[in-house]
């Protein structure tokens, strides 16, 4: 059974940093691209980052480019999101998600972790 | 960026009815379109990918159609467990973008 379990969320002040983790199990982690998707309270979904199988390629929307860094450790079946220079608009539930096969729809999602950016 | 315009924003229907949700892309996305269901307090769940392919385990009353810039999700024989918010997503181009969601309630 595929499982994605996020951790590392919490309350952080604007301008500070936070690192999220996602522990994957139930599939061969190193064979899949991985991604983060977020959802602000009572809002829609926003794709945040994608990383290739080896970690050599990363992709971000303009809203987080230069502030967020996605990374992975295939030996530990773990995905990470380093978030720097956090803003109030980064407040959201962050989901770890697995793209299906060779495409970029998301066939498995974690339960999500809440990040609140506030002074 | 590709804009995904989803309609309606909310929908109320009776049990057993058929409902349709639409998604309009700002440019051709070549059927790289997925639909998700998100129940209150839960993570999104994939329903449809490649515009019309049913994800394993999803009831056959869900179906997707469309091409080019226009896509739709159809739910036949509405059940109480279908109460949720539904989102479309294009994955033809980075940045991947989602529709704003359709909240489905039972009348």
Cα gap A24→A110, rounded to integer Å: 9
Q: Nearest residue of B to residue A94 by CA position?
A: B43
Q: Is the peptide bond before B95 cis (omega within 30 degrees of 0)?
A: yes
SS3 A76: helix
Contact A95 B43 (CB under 8 A): yes
Query: A79: closest CA among A33, A38, A118?
Result: A33
pLDDT for B28-86, tens place per residue?
999 999 999 999 999 999 999 999 999 999 999 999 999 999 999 999 999 999 999 99
Q: Say which of B49, B95, B100 has its CB closest to residue A47.
A: B95
User: Tokens 């990470």 correspond to what residue?
Assistant: A80
A40 contacts on B by Cβ (under 8 Å) = none
Chain B, residues 50-89, CB within 8 A of chain A, namely 50, 55, 87, 89
Supply B102's token pair: 């359709």
Please tell me the distance in Å from B100's CA to the nearest CA on chain A: 5
User: Tokens 């590709």 correspond to what residue?
Assistant: B2
pLDDT of residue A3: 98
Contact B55 A112 (CB under 8 A): no
pLDDT category of residue A101 using cuts at 50, 70 and 90: confident
pLDDT for A30-67, tens place per residue?
999 999 999 999 999 999 999 999 999 999 999 999 99
Average pLDDT of every residue of chain A? 97
pLDDT category of residue A100 using cuts at 50, 70 and 90: confident
CA diameter of chain A: 41
């Amino acid at each position: 059974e595929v499982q994605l379990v996020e951790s590392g969320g919490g309350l952080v002040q604007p301008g500070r940093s936070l690192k999220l983790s996602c522990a994957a199990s139930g599939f061969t982690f190193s064979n899949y691209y991985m991604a983060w998707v977020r959802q602000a309270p009572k809002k829609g979904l926003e794709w945040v980052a994608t990383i290739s199988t080896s970690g050599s390629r990363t992709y971000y929307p303009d809203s987080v480019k230069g502030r967020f860094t996605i990374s992975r450790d295939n030996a530990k079946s773990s995905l990470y999101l380093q978030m720097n220079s956090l803003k109030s608009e980064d407040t959201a539930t962050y989901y770890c998600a697995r793209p299906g096969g060779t495409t970029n729809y998301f066939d498995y999602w974690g339960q999500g972790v809440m990040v609140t950016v506030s002074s | 960026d590709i804009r995904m315009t989803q309609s309606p924003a909310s929908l109320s229907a009776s049990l057993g009815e058929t409902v349709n949700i639409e998604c309009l892309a700002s440019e051709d996305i070549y059927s790289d379109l997925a639909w998700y269901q998100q129940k209150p307090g839960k993570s999104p769940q994939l329903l449809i990918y490649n515009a019309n392919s049913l994800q394993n385990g999803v009831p056959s009353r869900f179906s997707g159609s469309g091409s080019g810039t226009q896509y739709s999700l159809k739910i036949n024989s509405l059940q109480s467990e279908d109460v949720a918010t539904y989102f479309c997503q294009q994955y033809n181009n980075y940045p991947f973008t989602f529709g704003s969601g359709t909240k489905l309630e039972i009348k």
